[in-house]
Amino acid sequence: MDKKNQVLSVCIITKNESKKLEKCLQTLKAYPFEIVIVDTGSTDDTKQMAKAYTSAIYDFDWCDDFAAAKNFAIRKAGNDRIMILDSDEYLSEIDVKGLLRMLEQCPEQVGRICRHNVLTRDGQRIENVEYINRIFSRELFHYEGRIHEQVVALSKKEYETYLAPVTIIHTGYDGTEEERNKKAQRNIELLLKEREENFKDTYILYQLGKSYYMAGSYVQAIQYFELALGYDLNPKLEYVIDMVETYGYALLKVGQVETALLLENIYQEFGDSADFKFLMGLIYMNNERFDDAVTEFEKAAEYKTSRMVGVNSYLAYYNAGIIRECLGDVDAARSYYEKCGKYERAVERLTCINKQNTEE
């Protein structure tokens, strides 16, 4: 595409991600974007593959600093307006005209894009939704942070954001157990270095806890979450909300179900979401407070949106159905399962219930 018609530079840093990166690039090629690839030391065919999509490919000597690599990519871009993607992300939906309109209307703001994190655990697809800062002017913003880097204004002042009409799919949390552990260990090592410089930074503590959680090291995750939660935190911050909920799940993972009940004490601050109510349903369920659990699952299902896909619909109804079936109320269980639509586990339970009724 003629460079004069390119309206935005999409910057991607990568290393040994040929297959994932190609999927990312395939979803970009139809749009009026410059693609800038910064390779941090690939030994596979990543760079050779990328040449089919862009000539803007650069090498960067890795220095254990993601912000440094991304800022290098930004400097190499041919446009001042930047969108950052990772090589394990790819476009799902985009309204280019709407995006261009917002770029013109909000030149000093940062665009937030919708990211769906997709992974498989225990044979089940898990998907959660978040909004992340990814579109900005390089004249006003850059990245800071060795890992889990953040968009920061060059003026160091707070900035406003807007919701950009861009949706991406992120598969970085998926893969084999070995791949997940390798990635988590890399992140943990970088986060520990970052913590040496910012010892009381609760966001770093959160990311350490999250990295251990994704690696399945739940005890270590709990330790870092509890360190962070010991500080006076703003309950409206997205990372604080996610930390509280992930902390609850980690407690359940290691069987500390009574400790998890302490989240009742912050219900007023965090309870206005399908995700928190669903979590409380699981906590009550594990503490054999079954009526309370069903109540929370029903409340979760009243919400139109949720960060984790399904907790405001089929997952909530399924868990309520499991409780009612275990308690012998088969009719109520069937009603809940029917509300789950095509959710495989609910379909299996319905089939089993109907088969039992036929045999009787």
Using an 8 Å Cβ cutoff, are 232 and 202 in contact? no
pLDDT digits (tens, 9 = 90+) for 155-209: 999 999 999 999 999 987 776 777 777 888 899 999 999 999 888 899 999 999 9
pLDDT at 360: 58
pLDDT digits (tens, 9 = 90+) for 270-324: 999 999 999 999 999 999 999 999 999 999 999 999 999 999 999 999 999 999 9
Tokens at 264, concatenated: 């009742």
Assigned CATH topology for domain 3-170: Spore Coat Polysaccharide Biosynthesis Protein SpsA; Chain A (3.90.550)
pLDDT at 124: 79
The mean pLDDT value for 265-271 works out to: 96
Residue with token string 């601050």:
269
pLDDT band at 4 (very low <50, low <70, confident <90, very high): low
Using an 8 Å Cβ cutoff, are 223 and 217 in contact? no
For residue 222, the Cα-to-chain-centroid distance in whole angstroms is 19
pTM beyond 0.95: the answer is no
pLDDT at 182: 82
pLDDT at 178: 77
Using an 8 Å Cβ cutoff, are 245 and 281 in contact? no
pLDDT band at 5 (very low <50, low <70, confident <90, very high): low
pLDDT digits (tens, 9 = 90+) for 37-60: 999 999 999 999 999 999 999 999
If you count them, how many residues does the chain have? 360
Residues of the chain with CATH 1.25.40.10: 177-359
Query: Of 82-91, 164-173, 351-360, which gets the smallest average pLDDT?
Result: 351-360
pLDDT digits (tens, 9 = 90+) for 106-126: 999 999 999 999 987 777 788
> What's the mean pLDDT when you consider all of the chain?
94
CATH architecture assigned to 177-359: Alpha Horseshoe (1.25)
> Does the pLDDT of residue 101 top 90, yes or no?
yes
Residues of the chain with CATH 3.90.550.10: 3-170
pLDDT at 3: 55
Rg (C-alpha) for the chain, rounded Å, is 23
